[in-house]
Structure 1
Amino acid sequence: MSLIRQLWLLLAAVLLLAIGGAVSVNLLSTRAVLQTQLAMKNNDTAQALALVLSQQGGDDELMKLVVAAQADTGFYRRIALARADGGTGIVSETPAGPLRAPGWFTALLPISSSPGVAQVSDGWRSLGTVTVVSHDSYAYDELWRGGVRASLVMLGVGLVAALLSLMVVRRIRAPLEATVRQAQALEDGRYVIVDEPSMPDLRRVASAMNGMVVRMKALFEAQAARAEALRRQAHCDPLTGLPHRSHFLGQLGALQQREDGADGGGLVLVRLADVTGLNRAVGRDTTDRVLETIAQVLSTYPERVDGCLAGRLNGSDFALALPTPGLAAETAESIAAALRSSLPTYSGAVRAFIGAVEWPREASPGALMSQADLALARAEAGKPYHAEVLDGSAGAGGLGEGERAWRVQLLSAIEDKAGRLRLVAFPVVDRMGRRLHLECPLRVQLQPGGAYEPAARWLPLAMRNRLTALFDAEAVSLALAGIQEDGAARAVNIAPASVADSGFVAHLRQLLEDRPRSAGQLWLELPEAAAADQFDAVQAFGRTVRPLGVRLGLEHAGERLHRIDRLYELGLDYVKLDASVCAGVAHSEAAQEFLRSTVALLHAMSMQVQAEGVADDADVRTLWQCGVDGVTGPWASQQAPV
């Protein structure tokens, strides 16, 4: 039982006891007074009546008339004259009128009417004894009315006391509830500071809680900063801050394997010619500034385009991966122009060359790098800052006949009731081999009877035509139907554009409210970039769906995770680390340290941590050792096939 409820019960008990005690004391006191008054009245009436009877000279008829006259007043139950000589006395009895007091009341508080007795005489001769007994019904009625009045007064006093108690309890309850909400927020990984109440006892509690929250927030921020430093140490070149060769190639491979990745893209290589000779000619410091300038030029692309990757492959070579096909030549020329205008200011000895290649989705990173190296070699045969572009995609134009044809195909797939939308399932398993949920990307049959295409083939055009909300709603509906059928938890990807669409959010809420049991088994995943770029929209989305039982998480996380301000306020249930962060972790102590720090940070915020795209047994064992809760990818599909 809660403290507030106990306080209310205590106050109610005290008020009831006080009211009951006060009314009881009032009734008992009034009854005693009434009994005393009845006894005095009986005695006074008996004395007065005896005096009148004594003056009648013993005449029977006159005495009967006196007794009858007294009885006719109606206040007396019995008036009797007993003669001294034993003769026939005079008796007058009057029945009592109806009682207003209820029977249980008269039985609970009986009133005794003591008879009044007086001697009747004629001079020295005793004529008899007169006895007078009053009706007690009037006393009962008066006692009942007095009890009712006292009860009403005490109830009024109790009501006023209850209102005052309500004000006091509310004053106490507000800071207590604020402290409870603060503790619940802390459990959810959110750091909330509450106002300190004026009451000294509660002020100490609130002050202690606020101090603890401030310390935990500072600890989290320090841990996040340390994790970011470890990430840069494990994955980045110390001079330029760009990913080094192995991590860049891992990112490139993960980009090519993503369900929601592009159907092809571009790769641009930049080479600073004769770094050793440049060191001798202008000095190491100037050479470092040249390298940093190249890195800054390339870094502008990932900052502006989601999915774009930049890296430093070795001392002289840089790379830029483009997530969209058809942009390699334009990007290479843009980079060449930027370097041509900035690098010669350091020295005339600075020379750079640019090679670019278009790549299809199925191209391996090794083959792609070979094609890009060939383009770079051709560029080096020309003038400095020359860009050479090769088309390694062999026609990456896609399936459609233009954007309009794509839109028609996509809308037709949504409207067709013949099942042209389908979820595929990949298991996510924990260290015990138990399935946590099924990762269910959406596949679309663009042509009736054709193949079900992965997101890489249709999602970019759906985003361009603002159709992601429709596809995401269909994916959620399919997942809920599947959960209702077999009870297996399912995870569905939600596009960033859908999160910001109020119509989609309202429709999603209705879907979840219509199937509350299935909603408890639904996992919704957003890209890490959505949390970084649309923090408020993601936070509002979480506050809408999580109360309905849905679990909310981030996917493809790792690169920007520690740079998301107030990550703890998103209310996430889990985070899926990107394949580029997890691949090859068994062979890198720095990567392991980064993973351990990241997992500890996320666990401190009550988030589950999973790893994407894991294929190697050694990597899986290392991930378990680092504290990861679940893995997905080829290894998981082999261990727990759907």
Structure 2
Amino acid sequence: MSLRLKFLIGLTLLFTLLMIGLFAERVHSTRLYVEAQLASTAQDAATSLVYPISRALGKNDVVLAETAIKSLLDRAYFQRIEIVALSGKTMAKMEQAKPIAGVPAWFIKWQHLDPAPGTALLSDGWRQLGRVVVISEPALAYKQLWDVLTHTLALLLAAYVISLLVMNFLVRILLQPLSAIEKSANEVQEREFNPIKHLPDTREFRRVVLAFNVMIERVRQFLSIEQQRAEEYRHQAFTDTTTGLDNRRNLDLRLDGLLKKLPQDSIGAAFAIQLEDLSEFNNREGYQKGDAILKQVAHVLLEKMAQQSPLIARLNGTTLFALHFNLSSGQIDQMGDQILASLKEITATLERPLQYGVAIVDFEHGTLKSKLLSTTDLALQQALFNGGESRQRMSANESSNQLPNGSQQWREVLQAAILDKSWGIQAQSVQNIADKQIVHQELTARLRHQDGPWISAGLFMPMAARHGLLQAAEQSLFDLAISKLENAATLQGQSIALNAGLLGALGSLTGQDEFVARLNKLKKHAARISFEVPEHQLIAAPELARRFARLLRDAGFGFGIDQYGFAASAAALIRELKPNYVKIDRRLISDMAVHKDTKEMILSLIQVAESLNITTIAQGIESESQLALLESMKITAMQGYLIGRPEEVI
């Protein structure tokens, strides 16, 4: 029961007791007044009858006396008039019973009136003849008493209703600070730290609100400091201090993953710029001028890529590197020419020429990092060998006979899998580090091509997107999971995590609404089902990310972030989306064992997550040494070959 309701009940009881007292007093006073009025009327009537009755009795004319009585009785104000002799004998008596209209019988019984009689002595000169007794008719008194009490009750009830409304309004105003504190406390539970803006006038409440706001502000400051620290560690670990681009370590960690994201049967391009004899230029002109040249060249890449490149990095001291996925062959040549023209403008201002070369390397899905970088280096050396101030375009394509051959075959394989639901699903355990309990099983999809090996989702999903089949493939996989999930023996009663992306159906508002509607089939299992989205997709579509996370929470499902930790705004991301868990990317887990600054960055992210009650999961754990490092860092859970390889469940 709320405090406001208790206040209202208490005040209502108090007011009710007061009303009952007032009503009882009104009943008592009105009754006394009516009885006094009846007695007064009876006495006045008895006094008025003394003269006519005395004259009649003086003449021994009883009939004349009765006539006087009857004339008064006919006015209907009296119930009984009686003439009593000195001996006590009734000489004449008349009475009448008037019906009591408009008054309930129970009220008459409850408020029974016994009117006091009015008496007067009868005499003929000095001779006493007897007395006359008059009793008033109570019917009108009952009616008057009933009307007064009903009107009084109506007024009291109206006063009660008005007072109740006023009390409700006053209690609401009085308890507004507590409502604001309750609302703010609920927001804290939702990991939103908003202070109470309106300060109450009541001194005690004002002090409580001020103390609460101080607590909220300290929590916000702590999270902001940890977020800033995490971003600073990331900047130190993965950003080149001279150019502001990603450094070589960041490139090494991310390049393999980016190369796998290129859709099958598509062409990507790597652009590289190398400044020849930069060290000699630094010695001759000074390091400040050399750094200024590097910054200008970095700005060229940033400007030409128009922020559409997934990676722009400083490969080494004299070489800058960038990737681009969304260009045709003609656009690749055009961008290479634009980069070359910009470099000519930069070097034209120098007193002594600075040689440079531009390399363009085409690659396909599956190209190895080592192959791409070696081909890039060869192309740069050829450009510089030809005299510099030129560009060289080469190819680093690799193919696999185990994959569908060509775009048309990919389409046929995907359409057949969607129609027949011929997918495979594997589960890999996520284990709590402290008690070794299973947190959940992560499900991943696979596709069979003829009699060859299974094809991972990282290969077939990009091709589904290319052919406009991504939404159909997602629906087919989801329907399969729904129909088979409860029948998978290895998953009975366990929590599971499903991969979701914002590139297909979930990349639109309508698609998200339809997806959540379809989740109703799994409503009874919602508490043990989570959906996880890669960090880079959440960063690319923040509005869709926020909406999807909110829809999942409202429906009772869990929400997680996969491949977490690379984004510069990683700490801010979890504060905004409030996931149930984050899976720290396996490349960062491997790198922190070698580089202290990576470890410090991850520790900061863990502290931010812990402050928000978000579970942290380390991916790619394969050795006991990695496990020992995780335990020292207080990471909650882990996933990797150390606890088990993926197993077939469907």
Matched, 1:17 2:17: yes
Shift of 1:233: 2.0
Farther off after superposition, 196-205 or 112-121: 196-205
Q: Secondary structure at the match of 2:87?
A: coil
Find the aligned partners of 2:443 and 2:341 in 1 and give their Cα distance: 43
| Aligned residue in 2 for 1:438 | 441
Shift of 1:481: 5.5
Q: Secondary structure at the match of 1:389?
A: strand
Find the aligned partners of 2:86 and 2:93 in 1 and give their Cα distance: 15
Specify the code of the residue in structure 2 equivalent to 1:161: S
Matched, 1:35 2:40: no
Shift of 1:639: 11
| Aligned residue in 2 for 1:131 | 133
Find the aligned partners of 1:519 and 1:513 in 2 and give their Cα distance: 9
Q: Mapping of 1:82-97 within 5 angstroms?
A: 82-87=84-89, 89-95=91-97, 97=99
| Aligned residue in 2 for 1:183 | 185
| Aligned residue in 1 for 2:47 | 47
Decide which of 504, 517, 526 is 1:510's aligned counterpart: 517
Q: Secondary structure at the match of 1:393?
A: coil
| Aligned residue in 1 for 2:231 | 228
Decide which of 479, 489, 498 is 1:491's aligned counterpart: 498
Q: Mapping of 1:467-546 within 5 angstroms?
A: 468-472=470-474, 486-487=492-493, 488-496=495-503, 498-513=505-520, 515-546=522-553
Specify the code of the residue in structure 2 equivalent to 1:570: L
Farther off after superposition, 187-196 or 1-10: 187-196
Decide which of 600, 608, 623 is 1:593's aligned counterpart: 600
Contact 1:582/1:612, CA 8 A, preserved across alignment: yes
Distance 1:632 1:26, change over 3 A: same
| Aligned residue in 2 for 1:150 | 152
Gaps of 5+ in 1: none
| Aligned residue in 2 for 1:350 | 355
Q: Mapping of 1:151-230 within 5 angstroms?
A: 151-172=153-174, 176-192=178-194, 195-196=197-198, 199=201, 201=203, 209=212, 213-214=216-217, 216-230=219-233
| Aligned residue in 2 for 1:424 | 426
Decide which of 239, 243, 260 is 1:240's aligned counterpart: 243
Find the aligned partners of 1:249 and 1:146 in 2 and give their Cα distance: 96
Distance 1:316 1:412, change over 3 A: same
Q: TM-score, normalised by structure 1?
A: 0.83
Farther off after superposition, 248-257 or 261-270: 261-270
Find the aligned partners of 1:612 and 1:302 in 2 and give their Cα distance: 32
Q: Mapping of 1:460-471 within 5 angstroms?
A: 460-464=462-466, 468-471=470-473
Q: Deviations over 1:592-625 (max 9, x none)?
A: 2111111112332343332333334323332333
Distance 1:373 1:150, change over 3 A: same
Find the aligned partners of 1:127 and 1:267 in 2 and give their Cα distance: 141
Farther off after superposition, 557-566 or 426-435: 557-566
Farther off after superposition, 586-595 or 97-106: 97-106
Q: Secondary structure at the match of 2:514?
A: helix
Find the aligned partners of 2:322 and 2:624 in 1 and give their Cα distance: 30
Decide which of 287, 300, 317 is 2:290's aligned counterpart: 287
Shift of 1:398: 6.3
Farther off after superposition, 453-462 or 312-321: 312-321
Farther off after superposition, 497-506 or 275-284: 275-284
Farther off after superposition, 12-21 or 151-160: 12-21
Matched, 1:251 2:258: no
Matched, 1:394 2:393: no
How many pairs were matched up?
A: 636
Q: Deviations over 1:283-322 (max 9, x none)?
A: 333333344445445556887346x334445434555456
Find the aligned partners of 1:262 and 1:65 in 2 and give their Cα distance: 130
Q: Secondary structure at the match of 1:440?
A: strand
Contact 2:226/2:604, CA 8 A, preserved across alignment: yes
Distance 1:464 1:53, change over 3 A: farther
Find the aligned partners of 1:241 and 1:86 in 2 and give their Cα distance: 128
Q: Mapping of 1:357-368 within 5 angstroms?
A: 358=363, 361=366, 365=369
Shift of 1:262: 10
Find the aligned partners of 1:64 and 1:182 in 2 and give their Cα distance: 89
Contact 2:193/2:216, CA 8 A, preserved across alignment: yes
Specify the code of the residue in structure 2 equivalent to 1:112: D
Distance 1:634 1:357, change over 3 A: farther
| Aligned residue in 1 for 2:115 | 113
Farther off after superposition, 322-331 or 100-109: 322-331
Shift of 1:222: 3.2
Shift of 1:493: 1.3
Q: Secondary structure at the match of 2:642?
A: helix
Contact 2:256/2:369, CA 8 A, preserved across alignment: yes
Specify the code of the residue in structure 2 equivalent to 1:2: S
Matched, 1:607 2:607: no
Q: Secondary structure at the match of 2:194?
A: coil
Specify the code of the residue in structure 2 equivalent to 1:440: L
Shift of 1:149: 0.9
Q: Deviations over 1:73-131 (max 9, x none)?
A: 44444444333235454444434524644454445444332233333333333333433
| Aligned residue in 2 for 1:304 | 307
Q: Deviations over 1:323-369 (max 9, x none)?
A: 689989948956973675366445424344647463653x6655665
Contact 1:528/1:561, CA 8 A, preserved across alignment: no
Gaps of 5+ in 2: none
Shift of 1:393: 0.6
Find the aligned partners of 2:646 and 2:416 in 1 and give their Cα distance: 37
Contact 2:266/2:364, CA 8 A, preserved across alignment: no
Quote the RMSD (CA, aligned, Å): 4.2
Q: Secondary structure at the match of 2:604?
A: helix
Find the aligned partners of 1:367 and 1:436 in 2 and give their Cα distance: 39
Specify the code of the residue in structure 2 equivalent to 1:426: Q
Distance 1:258 1:463, change over 3 A: closer
Shift of 1:59: 3.2
Specify the code of the residue in structure 1 equivalent to 2:130: G
Distance 1:454 1:20, change over 3 A: farther
| Aligned residue in 2 for 1:620 | 627
Find the aligned partners of 1:501 and 1:609 in 2 and give their Cα distance: 29
Q: Secondary structure at the match of 2:399?
A: coil
Distance 1:463 1:420, change over 3 A: same
Q: Secondary structure at the match of 2:569?
A: helix
Shift of 1:230: 0.8
Q: Secondary structure at the match of 1:438?
A: strand
Q: Secondary structure at the match of 1:520?
A: helix
| Aligned residue in 1 for 2:586 | 579
Identity %: 22
Q: Secondary structure at the match of 1:139?
A: helix
Find the aligned partners of 2:297 and 2:399 in 1 and give their Cα distance: 30
Q: Secondary structure at the match of 1:113?
A: coil
Find the aligned partners of 1:62 and 1:263 in 2 and give their Cα distance: 134
Specify the code of the residue in structure 1 equivalent to 2:3: L
Distance 1:112 1:396, change over 3 A: farther
Specify the code of the residue in structure 1 equivalent to 2:606: V
Q: Secondary structure at the match of 1:131?
A: strand
Farther off after superposition, 127-136 or 259-268: 259-268
Specify the code of the residue in structure 1 equivalent to 2:145: L
Find the aligned partners of 2:444 and 2:525 in 1 and give their Cα distance: 18
Shift of 1:143: 1.9
Specify the code of the residue in structure 2 equivalent to 1:394: S
Find the aligned partners of 2:300 and 2:23 in 1 and give their Cα distance: 90
Decide which of 559, 563, 566 is 2:566's aligned counterpart: 559
Contact 1:325/1:358, CA 8 A, preserved across alignment: no
